[in-house]
Structure formats: C-alpha cells, structure tokens
Amino acid sequence: MAVYLLKRLLGLLPTLLIVALLVFAFVHLLPGDPARMAAGVDAGPETVELVRRDLGLDRPLPEQFVRFFGHALQGDFGTSIRSKRPVATEIAERFGPTLWLTLAAMGWSVALGLVLGIVSAVWRNRWPDRLGMSLAVSGISFPSFALGMVLMQLFSVQLGWLPTVGADSWRHYILPSLTLGATVAAVMARFTRSSFIDILKEDYVRTARAKGLGEVSVVFKHSLRNALIPVVTMMGLQFGFLLGGSIVVEVVFNWPGMGRLLVDAVEMRDYPVIQALVLLFSLEFILINLVVDLLYAVINPTIRFH
Amino acid sequence: MNTTPTIVEPAPSAVRTPAAEFWRKFKRQHVALVAGGFVLLLVLAATLAPWLVPFDAENFFDYDALNAAPSAKHWFGVDSLGRDIFSRILMGARISLAAGFISVAVGAVIGTLLGLLAGYYQGWWDRIVMRMSDVLFAFPGILLAIGIVAILGSGMVNVILAVAVFSVPAFARLVRGNVLSLKHQTYIEAVRSIGASDATIMLRHLLPGTVASAVVYLTMRIGTSIITAASLSFLGLGAQPPTPEWGAMLNEARADMLNAPHVALFPSLAIFVTVLAFNLLGDGLRDALDPKLDKY
C-alpha cells in the first residue's frame, strides 16, 4: 500500500507542473502588459517600469516561472490589484465557507444518490425506479442557479423559514448546499443504479440467491462492495464538479467563498487572485482524485498489486 | 457429384441496414421519441424565431405593463423594462441551441480525431494526448471556461470556445477507449492484410465503430453545455444585456424577484425543458445504440 501511495504521489508531479505552467502562462497570454495592469490605468511610464522591475517581469521567462513556482510553494501569490492586500490573506478568509459548503453538499448528495440508485436498481422498471430516475434526470437538467433562485424565493422570501444570503449559521448552509448538491445527487443516483444493475447480473449474485440468502444479504453483503468501485471514481469526479458548481451557487446566495471571489476577480481583472484561485482549485481537484484512487485501492485489493 | 451448391438468399426482412436496425430499437423508446420530437420542434422554432416573435425581443418596450404577469397579449408576461418575455425566450433559444450545438460539435470533432490517433498509434503520441486530457480534466469545466473568458474577454463566442475546449478530452478518451478495443479485432487485421493505409483503417473501419457511443455522448453533452453556457452568462461573463440569452435574463430578473418572480420563472423553465429533452433523447439513444455505455 505504501509503495502504491508513493507511486501515485510521484505520478501527480507532471500534472501539477503542467497546471502550474498553464497558470503561470495565463498572465502572459492576457492581452496587454501585466506590469501596466498591476500599476493601474493612470500610472506613468516610470511607474510602470518600476512595477515591472518590482514584480520581476523584466527577467527571462524561465527565471520568472521558477520564482513564481517557488513563491507559490510558500503560499505567496503577490498582492491583489483590487484590494491591495496579500492574495493569500484574501483567499484564507474565503477558503472555509467554500470548503464547508462543498462538504455539506457532497455529504447529503452522495448519501441520497446511493440510496436512490440502489432502490432503483433493486426495484428495476417498477415504480420506485421510475420515480427515482425521473427525479434524477430532472436533477441533471435543472441549472443550479435557477434552482437556487427558486429555493430562495420559496423558503426564504415566501415562507420566511430560512435566511436568504450570508454564511453565519448552519441554517445559512441549508439552501446553498441543497442547490449545489442536487445535480451531484442526480448523477450519483443514475450511476449507482447502472453499476448495481450490472453487478446484480453477475454469477456470484445468482449463487448467493441460489444458496437461499435473503435479498438484504445479497444486496448489502455481496453486491454493494463491488458496485461501489465505479461509484467511488464517479464521486471524485463529482467533487471537482462541486468545486466548479460552487462558483455559481456562491453568486446566487452571495456566499463569502472562493467562487464569488473568483467571479469578482475576473470582473475586476484582478490577475494575481485569479492565478492563485485557479491553482488552488486545480490542486484541490488533483488531491481529491488521489484520495479517490486510494479509496479505490482499499475497496478493490487487485489494484494495489499491479 | 454434380450438385451445384444452392445459394440461400436471406429473406429480405432478415437483412437490416444499420439505420433500420437503429430505428427498430429506437422507436420502442417512447420517452426519447417525444423528447426527440420536442428537440426538432425547438430547432425549428429557433430557426424561424425572427418571424415568429410577436414583439421585438430587444427594442420593444411596453411601458404600461412593466413586470406584468402573463396575459393574452404577453404570453409569458413582461420584464422590468417592459420587454415581452415570450419573444425574448424564443430569440434566446437561438443563442442557447447554437451555443450547445457548436461547442459540442467542435469538441467532438477535435476530440474524436485526437482519440482515433491516440488509440491507433499509442506510444508517445497517446501519452501526450492522455496527459493533456488529464490536465484539462484537472480543471472543473466551468473553472476552465472562466479562465478562458478571463483571457479572451466576456462574450458568447468566447463562452462557446471555452465550452468546446472542455468537451475535447471527454471525446478523446471515449473514442480512444473504443479504438483500443476495436483495433485488435479480426476485421481490422483483414483490412490491414489487404494493404489498407492507416488513414483508411482509421476513418473507414475504426471510426464507424465508435460513432454510436460518440453520438450518445454528444447528445448528453449538449444539455450540459447549454447549462454551462447559461451559467457563464448568468455570472455576467457570457452574453451581455440586452441580449435575450436565458442565463443573462435570469441574472437580470434577480433584482426583481420580490415583485415579479415570473420574470425568472420562464427562462428557468426554458433551460430546464430544453436540457431535459436532450438528456431524455440521449438516454433513449444510448439504450438503442449502445447499451454498454455508462449511464451518467
């Protein structure tokens, strides 16, 4: 297992390096002069030159990249153009609310998705299946920003049960996490169902039934573990989707998280913040995929020995 | 022995062209048939929208009916600036459908070619393509799109480009997987032994084998792409007001949710019904064409 972990960690390095290179190249791909953008619109030519030297933009590109990468490793992403505060501080404040929102959404949506998927597979083509799958296909078709607006209108504005915007108490988490998780629950339900249906056709399931085991034992002891293997992979992909989806949901609910920071940064062309956020989002996604791969190895021993 | 071998002609009904075979299976998918009909109707309505709309979508202002609820004159009501929502939805269908179709088509063509080459030649080329898709996959779709829009500036064309970019790796992986499993089959060996070139093998013999799953995936992908494009417009990074794009319309409606929730209702429903139709059509196509393809 340790060897497997080491191999997987080393395998991440090239991907991480390419992502860092892309994020670094990002500033140089932008139309216009990064030094001028950092200096501001009404800075004179001398100021722009000063900023250029200050930011190291006059050095050769490879040297700049090493500097950027070195600083990024230490958590130094420069200063936000908009707020003039260190990017790291800006992000640190926003990191928690996004993480908790994503985890809350992931928690309920995976649980519900698994239950819906298993129920649909076991009662295949009967009414629980039809109901579950109708819900699921609606879930993947309803855009999250529209769902968020509907939920807010209904539960916060009309009924007054829940707060509308902000992230101060657990009650603030209910609507945003529902909105964010709806698509994931739907995808997980569809995926679990198809994975489970495949497993229920296997010979060993027929054997389990033939030797007189009850349906509960067949489903939970013999099928679940095997059906979970592809489901766990899907979960990892969905986590990335949640990170992306949080951007939209945070705007709808005015959530003080990284997603809204990113949208604001794009609008204000605040490049250091965009760079840091994109790098952070990607890093998170890559790490989650690693965790998923490890989980995968725990569930399925044959992977470890390859 | 002078018995001539008799050639048994197969009964005409036993021979089915691939198209007939597809139709035989697809016509049993009633939900998908309805969804497909709806998609056709929608494409027709979107194409003819400039002649169908009762009012000008951007430049007609009914100042006596600001935020008015649906009525015989304004079927879907009026927005806060006095514009007819029905006309705007209909014109918006052109934008959303075009965004969905074009972005996925571009992504599918590039992705399929890359996947064909990667699966057929394998080796270093395969490793480069797959490593690049890993990296593209490392960016959640909408994040990648926001990055591209941040570089190129906001606007619908850039949104379509961004959505196309993140469709590429998905198609590349799908086609590569298909090619890997097809290329060792006997019929490929047979065409190679009669001297067919690599290009002929790939385009004439491997490509058709991957078309079915690519078409299914494409249909599903259109729905996702329409949502992503609308999300970007909702965030203010795509179509700009007064363009009647559905996501942008929802963003505008947010300010007046208290007084006029119907202004937000109809664009939401439009996106939902359209994406639902593509997803149901995709489900039906998958069941008819490729029962092995994963259901998600």
From B172's Cα to the closest Cα of chain A, the distance in A is 17
How many residues are present in chain B? Answer: 296
Given pLDDT bands bounded at 50, 70 and 90, which one contains residue A167? low
* pLDDT value at residue B170: 85
Residues of A in contact with B143 (CB under 8 A): 243-244, 247, 262, 278, 281-282
* pLDDT value at residue B295: 42
Residues of A in contact with B137 (CB under 8 A): 240
Number of A–B residue contacts, CB under 8 Å: 134
Residue B32 main-chain phi, psi, to 5 deg: -65, -35
Whether residues A193 and B223 touch (CB distance < 8 A) is answered with: no
* pLDDT value at residue A157: 75
Q: Is B1 helix (H, G, I), strand (E, B) or coil?
A: coil
Whether residues B257 and A15 touch (CB distance < 8 A) is answered with: no
- A143 near B268, Cβ under 8 Å? yes
- A297 near A289, Cβ under 8 Å? no
**Quick one: what percent of chain B has pLDDT higher than 70?**
89
| Binding-site residues on chain B for chain A (CB distance < 8 A) | 131, 134-135, 137-143, 146-147, 149-151, 153, 223, 227, 230-231, 234-237, 247, 250, 254, 257-258, 261, 264, 267-268, 271-272, 275-276, 279-280, 283, 294-296
Residues of A in contact with B258 (CB under 8 A): 157
pLDDT digits (tens, 9 = 90+) for A99-131: 888 888 988 998 999 899 988 888 888 888 888
Q: Which H, E and C letters describe chain A, residue by residue?
A: CHHHHHHHHHHHHHHHHHHHHHHHHHHHHCCCCHHHHHHCCCCCHHHHHHHHHHHCCCCCHHHHHHHHHHHHHCCCCCECCCCCCEHHHHHHHHHHHHHHHHHHHHHHHHHHHHHHHHHHHHCCCCHHHHHHHHHHHHHHHCCHHHHHHHHHHHHHHHCCCCCCCCCCCHHHHHHHHHHHHHHHHHHHHHHHHHHHHHHHCCHHHHHHHHCCCCHHHHHHHHHHHHHHHHHHHHHHHHHHHHHHHHHHHHHHCCCCCHHHHHHHHHHHCCHHHHHHHHHHHHHHHHHHHHHHHHHHHHHCHHHHCC
Whether residues A281 and B139 touch (CB distance < 8 A) is answered with: yes
**Integer Cα distance of B20 and A29 in angstroms:** 50
The DSSP line for B79-121 is -TTS-BHHHHHHHHHHHHHHHHHHHHHHHHHHHHHHHHHHHHH
Which has the closest alpha carbon to B33: A46, A277, B41? Answer: B41
Given A140, A150, A281, which is nearest B279 (Cβ)? A140
pLDDT digits (tens, 9 = 90+) for A47-69: 888 877 777 777 777 887 888 77
Q: Which of A78-87, A102-111, A218-227, B241-250 has the highest mean pLDDT?
A: A102-111
From B41's Cα to the closest Cα of chain A, the distance in A is 19
**Integer Cα distance of A139 and B209 in angstroms:** 32
DSSP B293: S
Per-residue pLDDT, averaged over B216-220, amounts to: 86
Side chain identity at residue B147, one-letter code = G
For residue B3, pLDDT beyond 70: no
